[in-house]
Structure 1
Amino acid sequence: MRIKKLYLPIILATALAVGVLIGGYLNFKGPGRGFTSNSNRSKLNKLIELIESEYVDDVNTDSIVDLTVNGILEKLDPHSVYIAKGEMEQVSQSMKGDFVGIGVNFYMYNDTVAIIKPIEKGPSEAAGLKAGDRILYAGKTKLFGRKLPSDSLFSKLKGEEGSKVQLTIYRKSENKKFNVTITRGVIPIKSVDIATMLDKKTGYIKVNRFAETTYKEFHNGLLGLKKQGATELIVDVRDNGGGYMEMADEIADEFLKNDELIVKTKNKKGNIDKTYATEAGNFENGKVYVLINENTASASEILAGAIQDNDRGIIVGRRSFGKGLVQKEIPLGDGSAVRLTVARYYTPSGRSIQKPYNHGAEEYFNDFQKRFVSGELFAADSIKVADSLKFKTKKGRIVYGGGGIIPDVFVPIEGSHGDEALGMLMQSGLMSYFVFEQLDKDRKAFQNLTFPQLMQKLDETDVYFKNFKSYISKSGLVINMDSQKSTVKRYIAAEFARQLFDEGKYFEMVLKEDAMIKTVLKKE
């Protein structure tokens, strides 16, 4: 039984680590160096040509090249990766911060495209689509009963800005089918989930990644909180796998005074680039707290390191992931690209927070398991530090390099040993799908409820808690929920609030019992 309980957190942590691998790179734009030729490289080209011309069977040599490139990069480091042509659009879209589409959150429910919720102010909402609607056809293309992969679905719903698509909709709540024409528009992909006040003086901003639009989103959120009276700020980069280095630099600049060092990078030739704060900055005074955990990586760690080493704020949580390598994205000419590690970065005190990767990528990304077994996720004194990697902050405080940012204030993972996967599960897509299916059974029972009435309705019953336990069990997951019943009910209520109201209500429910938030608010 113990093995089964360990298995789930490993799976979930690995999924988050993949986010670090895909999203956690630091962007140095510009063309890469041209490729030179020698006998070995010519040998590889000759082999591919021979396979194409002489091999007895037809072979997709593009796939062979992909395998070869991946094999080479695997010998370098865990963050030098190849992005195949078919993956480039999705990866680029995520970092760009928007896409053109119809504006719905959906998933395949019983092999039908079910709308979880239209995106606020998006084309679908303007056209009158509602949560629970099924999309049966896009034009003449049938979308149900075909087990279509996600990329095929996206291609039918996305398109050029201003283009039109006719959808055939089935509205279950009214048992009717109708056609609607939607004009595709630009749909933002938010990298700042929420900017809200936790009390009269404390603002809170949640950043989920560092994309092209992140600083603009953060800046607007920060100014809005200041107008509401925020004199203290919590920046939440938990589970943030990183992204563009420039975005982290610009956010750090909001807090640091002119000429304070944010980060420095060093490449193969020993060239050092340093980034300093400017005279601009909208929150250079007032308390700052940065929330981190074991999945906080890359650009997120640059931000946390700059705040910590300049003694500008307090880092709260658990030791971060430990990614201190810099990647450059280089197009390969056929629509694919390689993200090649070209430098290391160092925090202002001079420390590298890159953790070792000499035992292979699998062990590197499964570091969560090691931290769990060692007890590090539950007690600060279980964090291993090396005296040889001791550095000093601006005011002389001791900090350590060698593997992530160690927080100033430690907060253990919620729950006891064996319950550690619960928080990840609560924030996964499974919770969203579960609540959608519960609502889909009888939307009329919820449609006229106010937020307080909804919360009271959910608090007074254990029906949804029991249903969720059954739902998870049928999914094949083994996890103990009874010991954290109140936490599970809180996340269920939060997801109901998100789907019936908005993102703000979701975070209102989630944050009020958040262990790190409570730790910060107690310190004030």
Structure 2
Amino acid sequence: MRLRPENKYKTWLPFWIAVGIVLGILIESIYSQFGSTGKVNGTGKIDAVFNYINKSYVDTVDMHQLVEEALPKIVQELDPHSAYIPASEMKRLNEDMEGHFSGIGVSFYVLRDTIVVTSIVPGGPSEAAGIKQWDRIVNVNDTLIAGKNITNAEVLKKLRGEKGSVVKLGIRRDNNPELINITVTRGDIPMNSVLAAYMQTRTIGYIRVGTFGFNTFNEFISALSKLKSQGAKSFVIDLRGNSGGSLEVVVAMVNEFLHKGDLIVYADGRNFPRQDSYANGSGTSKEDDVVVLIDELSASASEIFAGAIQDNDRGLVMGRRSFGKGLVQSQRNFPDGSAVRLTVARYYTPSGRSIQRKYEKGKYDEYEMEALNRYMQGDYVNSDTASTLIPYKTGGGRTVYGGDGIMPDVFIARDTVGMNSYFNSIANRDYIQEYAVTYSDMNRNKLREFQTVDDLVRYLYRQPLLVNLVSFADNKGIRPRPYYIEESRKLFERHLISNIVRYFFGEESYFSVYLQDDTLLKNAVDYIERGLAKPESVVQERYKSITLGQRINLHVPGEFTSLFYA
């Protein structure tokens, strides 16, 4: 039976009414925030603006890119450490924390626009493919890269990649004009976070920790075990320049030195119930002497480690006031691989002190410049001028300070001897490392003959390395300045020789040579040998005489250099 026209309209009427309601809701959701009355919802405003731009802006807008650019600005307004992390950067950060990345397994140096392989990761993809130390990488996937003024970041982007993927390399070896074509299958490459672990004396072990990643605890335990097997009964833990990492990892590491029930750290926030972390008594070094070294770049997890040792009267903290980061971030991941890290709590050392330094919303450039500002006002060579330090008491009754980083028990100034304008002009242009690579490459056959680090070091000190470096820099436009050259002689030689040693004996040997004249390390050893770092001595009167800001007329040498791995 056919419907009459009026019945047909009645049949479709409910459908059109529903469509109208849906369209009305949609239009309301887009434009309601632009009305002149009513309560405005902040998140609704954001949605409305994005929708308005997408629908009405005069030109086509890449909304995904707009969101990617807007989110960091929104989140970073909260505090200096909350952040939106794009998917591309998140991958690199995850690699740093996980302690490995996928690549070809070499360290490199870009020498005169050419990638020079300075070392091969043992057992890695490059070793299996036949790449050798001092090879030049000329082509990557049939694309010429030599002579292209390529940066380290660009090299990493070309050589790293997904595990199992392949990269074709054109290699020049031993000045042979014929290129060697080698295909490398990328694989997992370990990134060690314990950079050095060796015996400083017959009974004192030295451990340098570069970061607190997911593998750091296992590396740290292995380092302790190795040094104990070699006779270590005391330890110097070097956290200078360590910007932090995983809270769980640092808690597990400092647990090795504390007794059962000792409070390590606690976190507390508005919607973050207080969480206390205690030592469980399973540590392997509860009775060993310990000294922790920090500086102005030691932050976050490094400060937790130093604060736990200090507040439990367990050992000495030496060096310079730390960075002052006491905020706890929680991470939420997006399906595209990006993430938001949001500050949800503050952490506190066992004595109850927050070490987070003050910041003003929107003035985070000034916050990041704090280390430079402290340098300019003389904090690194004189008594620290921090004005926000608040006194607290440890379990043993000692006074410690919070509110602006960890103040060390023994303040030791930064070494400025030899760091004159001539040295800085060469170091800042990376000419020291460039010459070390050049010299090592040119003399590789001779330098490979040495069986021990000590033999190589003795040989290098007899060579005219400084004279050659001065000539090398002169050819690059830095004219010689005899007085300043002599003033910086020891500093130049230490940088040169330690870098050359690195290319033939590895990273640990680099640190052992570089730190031979490190007065902060020397004094850590001296305090241990005089019994001033023993747990029972840190609450004695002779220890209390070391007061806040007391100037010890000793110095800390210059900065370390690092390698790039692909």
**1:259 shift after superposition:** 1.2
SS at match of 1:137: strand
* Alpha carbons 2:418, 2:491 under 8 Å: kept: no
User: Which runs of structure 2 are paired with 1:218-367 in the superposition (5 Å)?
Assistant: 218-269=220-271, 271-358=273-360, 360-367=363-370
**1:151 shift after superposition:** 5.7
* Alpha carbons 1:491, 1:509 under 8 Å: kept: no
**1:116 shift after superposition:** 2.1
**1:365 shift after superposition:** 1.5
Compared CA separation, residues 107 and 292, structure 1 to 2 (3 A)? same
1:400 partner amino acid: Y
> Which one is further off, 53-62 or 513-522?
53-62
Between the two proteins, what is the percent identity of the paired residues? 37
2:524 corresponds to which residue? 520
**1:166 shift after superposition:** 3.8
**1:149-179 deviation line (CA, Å, top 9, x unaligned):** 6566445433444554443211134554212
User: Which runs of structure 2 are paired with 1:453-472 in the superposition (5 Å)?
Assistant: 453-460=455-462, 461=464, 462-467=466-471, 469-470=473-474
Give the structure-2-normalised TM-score.
0.78
* Alpha carbons 1:414, 1:423 under 8 Å: kept: no
2:416 partner amino acid: G
**1:102 shift after superposition:** 1.2
1:384 partner amino acid: A
1:13 corresponds to which residue? none
Compared CA separation, residues 506 and 428, structure 1 to 2 (3 A)? farther
SS at match of 1:512: helix
Q: Computing the radius of gyration over CA atoms, which structure comes out larger, 1 or 2?
A: 2
State yes or no: 1:371 paired with 2:369. Answer: no
Compared CA separation, residues 231 and 423, structure 1 to 2 (3 A)? farther
State yes or no: 1:507 paired with 2:511. Answer: yes
1:262 partner amino acid: I
**1:110 shift after superposition:** 3.4
**1:89 shift after superposition:** 1.1
Aligned-partner Cα distance in 2 for 1:109–1:484 = 25
1:54 corresponds to which residue? 56
**1:250 shift after superposition:** 0.5
2:498 corresponds to which residue? 494
2:23 corresponds to which residue? none
**1:43 shift after superposition:** 2.6
**1:96 shift after superposition:** 1.1
> Which one is further off, 325-334 or 94-103?
325-334
1:508 partner amino acid: S
**1:370-401 deviation line (CA, Å, top 9, x unaligned):** 32233221123x443557x2111110100111
Aligned-partner Cα distance in 2 for 1:214–1:516 = 24
* Alpha carbons 1:85, 1:334 under 8 Å: kept: yes
1:207 partner amino acid: V
> Which one is further off, 262-271 or 275-284?
262-271
**1:81 shift after superposition:** 1.4
User: Which runs of structure 2 are paired with 1:172-251 in the superposition (5 Å)?
Assistant: 172-251=174-253
2:160 corresponds to which residue? 158
> Which one is further off, 38-47 or 81-90?
38-47
Aligned-partner Cα distance in 1 for 2:469–2:296 = 28
**1:264-303 deviation line (CA, Å, top 9, x unaligned):** 0001136211000112101001210000000000000000
Unaligned runs of 5+ in 2: 1-32, 34-39, 530-566
Aligned-partner Cα distance in 2 for 1:472–1:166 = 34
State yes or no: 1:411 paired with 2:436. Answer: no
Compared CA separation, residues 307 and 428, structure 1 to 2 (3 A)? farther
Compared CA separation, residues 242 and 311, structure 1 to 2 (3 A)? same
* Alpha carbons 2:432, 2:469 under 8 Å: kept: no
**1:93 shift after superposition:** 0.9
Aligned-partner Cα distance in 1 for 2:163–2:279 = 38
**1:224-277 deviation line (CA, Å, top 9, x unaligned):** 111111000000000000011111101010000111100000011362110001
**1:428 shift after superposition:** 9.9
Compared CA separation, residues 93 and 518, structure 1 to 2 (3 A)? same
1:392 corresponds to which residue? 393
* Alpha carbons 2:82, 2:342 under 8 Å: kept: yes
**1:166-208 deviation line (CA, Å, top 9, x unaligned):** 4321113455421233343221011110111111100011000
* Alpha carbons 1:314, 1:408 under 8 Å: kept: yes
2:90 partner amino acid: M
* Alpha carbons 2:271, 2:344 under 8 Å: kept: no
Greater RCO, CA 8 A, separation 6+: 1
1:60 partner amino acid: D
1:10 corresponds to which residue? none
User: Which runs of structure 2 are paired with 1:56-75 in the superposition (5 Å)?
Assistant: 56-75=58-77
Alignment length (residue pairs): 483
Unaligned runs of 5+ in 1: 1-36
